[in-house]
A and B are shown apart, each in its own frame.
Chain A
Amino acid sequence: MNIETIIFLVFGITAVVSAVLMVTRKNPIISAIFLILNFFTVAVIYLLLKAQFIAIIQVLVYMGAIMVLFLFVIMLLNLKENKKPSEYSFKKITAILISILLALLLGTSVYFGFQGKQMNEVAEKIGTAESLGRTLFTTYSFHVLAAGMLLLAAIVGAVMLAKKKFE
């Protein structure tokens, strides 16, 4: 076992555990904190994959912007903890069973389907900001414009929805 595998195991297990805790906690703020922890571990996983730019963007956008917004809204609405004990209805148990089946199906198929692949030597080079930027603004330039339009639409939509009344 080399050092990379150990790092992967530590952060992979932390990611899974924090995701489970995120789903099971009653208090939305605690859930959000575990989701932030999960995003951080995923950023480390990206570093293991030599995608340093994506890793820092993950921290910057997901942890620094999206989750702050989530925390802000939860605090603003002052959501109270759900005090009543959760009942295990037929629907919930079925949902959990189906999800476990899904995990098994996906997990076994990808585990046995992609065995023995090694990291590509150029991985280090394509993970940098320069290389990604070049591809993003040449091959995918139209898509960038489309994404910009999407963000503009989202901003307008958010402002319209959050306004108290439509004058």
Chain B
Amino acid sequence: MPDWSIDIIITLIKIVVVELVLLTGVAYTVYAERRVSAFIQHRYGPNRVGYQGLLQPLADVFKLIMKEDIVPERANKFVHSLAPAISLFVALSTFAVIPFGDKILIAGKEIKLQIADVNIGVLYILALLSLGVYGITLSGWSSNSKYSLLGGLRSSAQMISYELSMGLAVLGLILINSSFRLDTIVMNQYGWKWNIILQPIGFITFLVASFAETNRTPFDLPEAEQELVGGYHTEYSSTKFALFFMAEYAAVIVSSAIITTLYLGGWQFPYLQTFGLPDMAVSIIQVLTFCGKTAFMVFFFIWVRWTIPRFRYDQLMNIGWKVMLPAALTNLILTAIVITIIKLNS
């Protein structure tokens, strides 16, 4: 077998494993959301299907698939079906550049624990996140319903506004690492040097912008139940609704993974190499560290959703343009000044 075909097979295996883990993660994030919200509100939550309700996600998926698929009569059928597919595609394919571990040695072959190591990884993530708005906007327009249209309009305005601060927040990191490569960014966060310590303002800006980009509370205006029925997915049912639902939770997991990679040290376990463990154990601990940090961020997303009320629309725009954007710009300028001073001194 030629060398490149082995590489292709390894990449395919990585893709299948990552997507399977991601989709299972989506199902159990839904379950976790219901259990955590129940805990926060002093209820029980789903605990009947299987042990402690652990089979609930399967039952949910089965129920959604068995439902009738209703398309509104005057909807644009093609765009109506295209929109959920775009949403899920964007959420799942962002994971391609995220490193979930260092190298691992299997049968004498060094395998990188990252699907695609491109040298414009950060830009790839930003580009795909900016495409995510199409799913919501197009679904809002194609349903031919006023609630959906309002949801779609709100989401496109919101995403354009918050993308800016997100991109500017990441620029600070790129200045520090002088690379768009996610692998380099993680490598540089060894020991205590996590970017959350080096870039606190950038971290907070990025975190808030991620909440807005994934349409989670306190920025869930595109689907505000009390005013817009269901927002952009009012007219969706059955499998297409399930796709939107999965896309939302996949976006939460992917955003958590991005925050982990960029600011929380990725797969780096502080001072792990000083313990003198065998290579295999180190690799496994690193992957588990990545999963643990991501799970914590997912929990944080859920925690915020059940704690903080929704903003009004004008407040949302004010925060986006008058607080987040100046904060991100200040962070960028401060970082540039500090880096210049360090370079001049050395």
Contacts and interface: CB of A to CB of B under 8 A. Distances in A.
**Do A and B touch each other in the complex, judged by CB within 8 A?**
yes
Interface of A: 29-30, 33, 36, 52-53, 56-57, 59-60, 63-65, 68-69, 71-72, 75-76, 128-129
Nearest to B153: A75
Interface in B103-144: 118-120, 123-124, 126-127, 130-131, 133-134, 137-138, 140-141
A69 B161 CA distance: 11
Nearest to B178: A130
Contacts of A60: 123, 126-127, 130
Contact of A68 (B126, B127, B133): B133
A160 to B, nearest CB: 17
Contacts of A30: 76, 79
Given A60-B123, A63-B131, A129-B120, A33 B138 contact: yes
A64 B130 contact: yes
Contact of A36 (B119, B126, B134, B153): B134
Contacts of B257: none
B152 interface: yes
Interface residues of A: mostly helix, strand, loop or mixed?
Answer: helix
Contacts of B119: 52, 128-129
A123 B140 CA distance: 42
Contacts of A129: 119-120, 123, 180
20 contacts: A29-B79, A29-B141, A33-B138, A52-B118, A52-B120, A53-B120, A56-B127, A60-B126, A63-B127, A63-B130, A65-B130, A68-B133, A68-B134, A68-B137, A71-B156, A72-B137, A72-B160, A75-B140, A75-B149, A129-B123
B91 to A, nearest CB: 15
A89 B100 CA distance: 61
A46 to B, nearest CB: 12
Which of B120, B127, B163 counts the most A-chain CB atoms under 10 A from its CB? B127
B159 interface: yes
Contacts of A52: 118-120
B127 A64 contact: yes
Contacts of A65: 130, 160, 163
A59 B131 contact: yes
B160 A68 contact: yes
Contacts of A64: 126-127, 130-131, 133, 163
A45 to B, nearest CB: 16
Nearest to B79: A33
Contacts of B127: 56, 59-60, 63-64
Contacts of B153: 72, 75-76
B157 interface: yes
Given A53-B120, A71-B141, A75-B141, 12 more contacts: A59-B127, A60-B126, A60-B130, A63-B127, A64-B133, A68-B156, A71-B134, A71-B137, A75-B137, A75-B149, A129-B120, A129-B123
A57 B123 contact: yes
Nearest to B160: A68
B141 A68 contact: no
Contacts of B120: 52-53, 56, 129
Contacts of A33: 79, 138
B131 to A, nearest CB: 6
Given A56-B127, A129-B120, A69 B137 contact: no
B212 to A, nearest CB: 15
B284 to A, nearest CB: 33
A85 B326 CA distance: 50
Contacts of B130: 59-60, 63-65, 68
Nearest to A64: B130
A37 B119 CA distance: 25
Nearest to A78: B149
B173 to A, nearest CB: 14
A75 B123 CA distance: 28
Interface in B60-82: 76, 79
A52 B119 CA distance: 9
A72 B156 contact: yes
Contacts of B131: 59, 63-64
A44 to B, nearest CB: 13
A69 B253 CA distance: 27
B210 to A, nearest CB: 16
Nearest to A76: B153
A75 B157 CA distance: 12
